[in-house]
Structure 1
Amino acid sequence: MAVARPIIGAAIGGWANDRYGRRSAILIADFLFFTGAVIMASALAQLFSSLVEFCWTRCWNGIYDCPSLHFRGFSCKNPRCPCQYQWISHYWRPVPLLSHQLGLYQGVPALLQFSLMLLLPESPRWLFRKGREEEAKAILGKIYPADDVETEIQDLKESIDKEILEEGGSEKINLIKLLQTQTVRRGLIAGVGLQVFQQFVGINTVMYYSPTIVQLAGFASNQTALLLSLVTAGFNAFGSIVSIYFIDRTGRKKLLIISLFGVVISLGLLSGIFRETTTHSPIVIATESSFAAYTCLDYSSVTNAVGWDCMKCLKASHPDCGFCSSASDKLLPGSCLISNSTVKDLCHKSHREWYARGCPSKYGWVALIGLTLYIIFFSPGMGTVPWIVNSEIYPLRFRGVCGGIAATANWISNLIVAQSFLSLTQAIGTSSAFLIFGIISVVALIFVLIYVPETKGLPIEEVEKMLELRTQHYKFSEKSSGPLEKSQEM
């Protein structure tokens, strides 16, 4: 449910941005998120976390997730805002649910953003569309030098008049007509495709299940697994900061390609390491007398258990079984025992390691390197650029709706991947699961090369022209010209 709750919010958020304006929608979302955080904190503090109340507050918070997509259209066309949102979300994500204080912690970014948003104006382009031209002109006068204000106002007015003439002045948007509009349809292919691939290359399996993945790599301790997963989350936050620096220097498309290239290599490394861990796990030997009463039933019932190793032990299910390593060396043969707290404590008291998810491996540290590389390559590119491209690629009239569609696609994909990962690893193994993510990453790389345009340095009008002229985009940069270029530089 925690993964599914932003889907509704993402779908509503796009409509709210068009209906009430970018600034108002963000303020409303911040208020809802802070309210949800306070209610959740209160519920946890009182040890009352009924399913209805918990899900309701999380749905409120889900609505907050969508407006970040529209920061760039707010005033000065700054793509760093989605990068900053990405950094904040990953900064707060790794905090474990230890007490009711977490609910209050989650409300801090929303309260801070609400306070800062009060100091910012509404989007001039949105104001023009609503007929509030004087307000829009006043805001543009504060953003641009006096010599360029009239040119910017005229260009903006002509662009909006053209949109109204082509699409009509009605506030209602016909989805069928939207999809029949060539520039919007091509923009949706690029925008929605990026959001879907962002999830299907496996990022949130790493973020949600990083302690489990660390244990699958051969680290038995829960504390060690949690600590290493927090380090991974830290690299994710750091990568988003790197994106803020490079996004306007390197360009969106180049950053995506570099990111996906690194992701493919990292996933290949992870797949190979987990295959090595699976095929070379310690063998199982006859249980010692001190553990005889706790021998795994599947193991004891087999007449010839010569082929049993740690991995086969962990797959036993009558009942669930775990592997108690050798006291002298965890890579030496160990015992296959019933998995429960009593047996786990008995194993630890004998100065042995207890494994219930993954098996001992001398290559576990290489898997950690693979996870770290995956995060380092993913977060500056695929972590932030899909949100930035989606804030730049649609005409203003359709930006709210299209942004909502893309965000909803992102969260639906997130739900599918997150809910299927553990079942996938159990069915085909961790190595094969990462291999599948690697293959999807290759497809994503091809998709970016063909369908995603480079929007660096381009005003909205030129992005529309570019989408109108062609479907496929092999170039890595586009150059604006004339007044538009001057306006963009300002």
Structure 2
Amino acid sequence: MLGVAGLPAVVQFVLMLSLPESPRWLYRKSKVDEAKSILERIYPAEELEDEMNALKISVEAEKADEHALGDSMAQKLKGAFKNVVVRRGLYAGVTVQVAQQFSGINTVMYYSPTIVQFAGFASNKTAMALSLITSGLNAVGSIVSMTFVDRYGRRRMMIISMIGIIACLVVLTIIFSQVATHSPNIDHFESMHFALNASCSSYVRANDPTSWNCMSCLRAECGFCANGVNKYTPGACLALSKDIKDSCREKHRTWYKDGCPSRFGFLAVVFLGLYIISYSPGMGTVPWIVNSEIYPLRYRGIGGGIAAVANWVSNLIVSQTFLTLTKALGSAGTFLLFAVFCGIGLIFIFWFVPETKGLQFEEVEKLLQAGFRPEAFRKSSEETKVDKGKCKAKAEAETDTETKPQPSS
């Protein structure tokens, strides 16, 4: 398994041998011609001069900052946080990265077989097969993102994505709530007489065992042996052990230890798929694009690094707490919690993240310099150009009116 995962790394290593150096790094090393030749591959001829000038200005500004503040990492960080544009860029960049992880995506990617079993699929093979759907849809959604992100804009894609994610999480909350509510009851006689020493000790000691159902049994860290005729009718709550599981299966019955039999299982898988479809074209790819466009060139490494750290720390928190949350809150409560996090993330994206589609950094810098203004952040470069054109036309019309000779009385 590890060897298979190494194959893409080998391909990436070979391809990286042909990867050119950054034009910015080359320019800093006084290799201007090499920097220009790389930019020629990326930009059309009519934009090349502007890009070279922008690169020159950025490198000179970076060197001036280094001269004034110093070249150590601590001094660079100090300079970044003192710069209001970088600071506001970090608010936006860190916001989208944290929101990405607290949407719960990696709990679905890491634990999708377990989640499928929560929905009522007992077979490990079935759960693994169904979990492949999430990986496939994530890959397809990332490809779709390449088509739409420049057409509809970064900010709009993230907002639409978040709304879709929230809707799917709310529906999943309802589905898993129904799974728990309609869980099969426990057959007391079978649970007590299934086999020697097979009874679940927590069930035996319970004050009111008649109130137990399959979910109660699993929360007590026992197993549920479903009815052989109809798995949705009462079954036995038994101790967790390989011998008892084998005994259950020998009687042509299904053994459940992670989830309970449910008629809502396929519906849960469908909305997990829709959740991935909502996530991958927007929140899956766009946060990384935004972080490559929102910082001044001289602070891009620091800003992108801080945002990446925020992403991975958030990933660690979410992935390490998922199973604990499902035990404490249940599957429904956990998905509802992620929906709340997404709602908060949506508000932060609306207030803190500007539209960077088609904008030169100077334009992004002006937006951030002016403060957090959602109405201004909403506009892309095309809309900005239209507004400028309208203002220019209005000014020209007013000038023509003022200069036009007035008729004599």
> TM-score category by the smaller chain?
0.7 to 0.9
Contact 1:211 1:226 in 2 (8 A): yes
Unaligned runs of 5+ in 2: 386-409
Q: What are the within-5 Å matches in structure 2 for residues 186-265 of structure 1?
A: 186-265=88-167
Contact 2:185 2:212 in 1 (8 A): yes
In the other structure, the counterpart of 1:108 is: 7
In structure 2, which of residues 2, 9, 22 is the aligned counterpart of residue 123 of structure 1?
22
Unaligned runs of 5+ in 1: 1-101, 483-490
In the other structure, the counterpart of 1:14 is: none
CA distance in 1, matches of 2:298, 2:52: 17
Q: Residues 451 and 146 of structure 1: is their aligned pair in 2 closer, same or farther, counting only changes over 3 Å?
A: closer
Contact 1:287 1:336 in 2 (8 A): no
CA distance in 2, matches of 1:406, 1:355: 41
Query: Radius of gyration: which is bigger?
Result: 2
Contact 1:264 1:438 in 2 (8 A): yes
In structure 2, which of residues 215, 229, 232 is the aligned counterpart of residue 311 of structure 1?
215
Displacement of 1:399 in angstroms is: 1.0
Q: Residues 233 and 145 of structure 1: is their aligned pair in 2 closer, same or farther, counting only changes over 3 Å?
A: closer
Contact 2:226 2:232 in 1 (8 A): yes
CA distance in 1, matches of 2:313, 2:246: 41
In structure 1, which of residues 466, 472, 476 is the aligned counterpart of residue 373 of structure 2?
472
In the other structure, the counterpart of 1:171 is: 71
Displacement of 1:142 in angstroms is: 4.4
Deviations 1:195-238, CA, capped at 9 Å, x for gaps: 11111111111111111111111111111111111111111111
Q: Residues 345 and 453 of structure 1: is their aligned pair in 2 closer, same or farther, counting only changes over 3 Å?
A: same
Tell me the secondary structure at the aligned position of residue 336 of structure 1. strand
In structure 1, which of residues 393, 398, 402 is the aligned counterpart of residue 299 of structure 2?
398
Deviations 1:318-377, CA, capped at 9 Å, x for gaps: xx3111011110100000101111111111111111111111111111111121111110
Correspondence 1:162 to 2:61: yes
Over the residues paired in the alignment, what is the CA RMSD in angstroms? 2.0
Correspondence 1:273 to 2:172: no
In structure 2, which of residues 251, 263, 280 is the aligned counterpart of residue 362 of structure 1?
263
Displacement of 1:250 in angstroms is: 1.2
CA distance in 2, matches of 1:151, 1:310: 68
CA distance in 2, matches of 1:421, 1:364: 20
One-letter code of the match for 1:415?
L
Contact 1:313 1:321 in 2 (8 A): yes
One-letter code of the match for 2:315?
N
Correspondence 1:427 to 2:328: yes
Q: What are the within-5 Å matches in structure 2 for residues 272-351 of structure 1?
A: 272-288=174-190, 289-291=193-195, 293-302=197-206, 304-316=208-220, 320-351=221-252
One-letter code of the match for 2:218?
L
One-letter code of the match for 2:243?
T
Question: TM (normalized to structure 1)?
Answer: 0.73
Contact 1:270 1:370 in 2 (8 A): yes
Tell me the secondary structure at the aligned position of residue 168 of structure 1. helix
Q: Residues 150 and 363 of structure 1: is their aligned pair in 2 closer, same or farther, counting only changes over 3 Å?
A: closer
One-letter code of the match for 1:397?
R
In structure 2, which of residues 232, 253, 260 is the aligned counterpart of residue 352 of structure 1?
253
Contact 2:225 2:235 in 1 (8 A): yes
In structure 2, which of residues 339, 353, 361 is the aligned counterpart of residue 452 of structure 1?
353
Q: Residues 248 and 144 of structure 1: is their aligned pair in 2 closer, same or farther, counting only changes over 3 Å?
A: closer
CA distance in 1, matches of 2:329, 2:96: 27
Q: Residues 308 and 183 of structure 1: is their aligned pair in 2 closer, same or farther, counting only changes over 3 Å?
A: same
Q: Residues 110 and 444 of structure 1: is their aligned pair in 2 closer, same or farther, counting only changes over 3 Å?
A: same
Count of aligned positions = 378
Q: Residues 242 and 145 of structure 1: is their aligned pair in 2 closer, same or farther, counting only changes over 3 Å?
A: closer
Contact 1:251 1:477 in 2 (8 A): no
Deviations 1:252-300, CA, capped at 9 Å, x for gaps: 0111011000000000011111111112211101243443531111222
Deviations 1:419-468, CA, capped at 9 Å, x for gaps: 11111111121111110100111111111111111111112232222212
Contact 2:188 2:210 in 1 (8 A): no
One-letter code of the match for 1:121?
P
Tell me the secondary structure at the aligned position of residue 283 of structure 1. coil
